[in-house]
Structure 1
């Protein structure tokens, strides 16, 4: 007789939880909606802090300034190449380092020494100036490799994948070796397919980190034409006086008068977020755990 009441209370509890989660989700969306509204509002309303989540004096001039700029697309291409090169190099080096380090000390002599070096490198680094000197002496300045090679081995990701490999049942590897598989075959045909969730997570770390990094471009690039996208849009400002001196026509000048640095900065944030928003849905489905549980019965 009490079952209907319990069922009703359970449904009511779930409804309350869903309402709370929905409310919290909407709260997290408000800052993003505000940034989008600012990027599409007139400079007067933005300066007066009169913009909420709906654009005031709607304009797309900040986006036009970004899209009509040839350097914007060049920097966009540089960032795409950087992300692709970094992702491929990161994943290869991470896997090739994590696999032997996942072995026991008896299987891999000197494992503790290598682990000590990795942990030390994760906690301490040479600093900005020594790193710059190394990049300069290698002749990598104004090269895309100056953006890729300094971060080629993310130690945290190596340790993350190593720990995942160590959690894979030893029975899988032993069975494959008994069947005549080599260590490379074990890695490629057993460990990597099982480790897709962790590899996808590490790949997302690499993509987000390389896409959002703007400071490396400022350090290693001396020419604006070599800036990655984040570095370039970070350097963009609206200088009306300089544009007048360069002979800007009256039509474009009147349009630019309705744009401020706050509009442009908001447009930068929106544009730079679009690629990550498009990529994330394809990787988030791999964010699961326990894929190995039950694969082998002990």
Structure 2
């Protein structure tokens, strides 16, 4: 009996040591992963706040050697930057509002059990998640719709997302059917049920999907580079990409900025980093305000009771 108890004690001590070792290993790996993820962004911030000529020497790690705001002064004095920023803000607002409106209506219809041809519609919809027309056919369609070089091309082609529709649909299907039945007894039609009953109850999922779509629209630079040939409606990320790919453009910006700190305080690379941070900062500031809704939204439908 004593030998058995002794064996159990030794086994528990051994498993406890193994658990502690495993916990230490996991924490070390997570810390390394966090550092590898965060450091490139932090290094960009450091370079943006450092003297451009000093940055070209290399060796910048965790803190600026010669702190300066000249890089951001050039960004602030650049008219095209603020024009692109306002275009992107308008793109996000218009794109999120139109997408949530149409996606919610689409999901509401697909959540109805008595919808005629529901399986056919769902199959045709899901197929678009895996197969597309391709870049050239899509461009020809956009051109035939007269959307090229317009503000609408920045968000109209991305209005409906099948993935977002499925998330909405899953949420609507979990709502009690009694809500809809009682609304119909009061004379409400489908639009009244959707916008007066379902929409107010969809706060978490609406916030989560809105954040998904807003981040996509804010960060997208590729499509604007295809459908826009002028700088009139160029969004901020496409503008940043053009700066990163063209050292001559950033050098010209620095030369025309009229910075008072002297020659060499602003270089093409330091200006690129400052513009990148200035373009990324607004969307980062939005996250803390939507995070609580975001967590609730992504967990909807993941737990069944």
Query: What TM-score comes out, normalization by structure 1 length?
Result: 0.80
Q: CA deviation at 1:227?
A: 1.1
Instruction: Confirm whether residue 167 of structure 1 aligns to residue 166 of structure 2.
Output: no
Query: 1:85-140 deviations in whole A, cap 9, x for unaligned?
Result: 11111011101100010111xx1011111111110111111111111111122222
Hey, what's the Cα distance between the residues in 1 that align with 2:181 and 2:173? 14
- Tell me which moved more, 149-158 or 60-69: 60-69
**Counterpart-to-counterpart distance in 2, 1:240 and 1:217:** 19
1:192 matched to 2:190: no
Structure 1: 5+ residue stretches without partners: 1-12, 293-298
1:230–1:53: structure 2 CA closer, same or farther, 3 Å change rule? same
1:233 is aligned to 2:240: yes
| CA–CA distance in structure 2, aligned partners of residues 136 and 185 of structure 1 | 36
Distance 1:84 1:258 in 2: 37
Residues 1-298 of structure 1 aligned to structure 2 (within 5 Å) = 27=35, 29-104=38-113, 107-236=114-243, 237-239=246-248, 243=252, 255=262, 257-286=264-293, 287-288=295-296
Over the residues paired in the alignment, what is the CA RMSD in angstroms? 3.3
Relative to structure 1, the CA distance from residue 93 to residue 240 in structure 2 (aligned partners, 3 Å threshold; closer, same or farther) is: closer
Gaps of 5+ in 2: 1-19
Partner Cα distance (2:116, 2:73) in 1: 59
CA distance in 2, matches of 1:112, 1:240: 53
Cα distance in 2 for partners of 1:99, 1:116 equals: 16
1:251 Cα offset (Å)? 6.8
Q: Do the aligned partners of residues 231 and 148 (structure 1) sit closer, same or farther apart at CA in structure 2, a change above 3 Å counting?
A: same
In structure 2, relative to structure 1, the CA distance for the partners of 1:113 and 1:58 (3 Å cut) is: same
Give the superposition deviation at 1:52: 1.6
1:224–1:196 CA distance, 2 compared to 1 (3 A): same
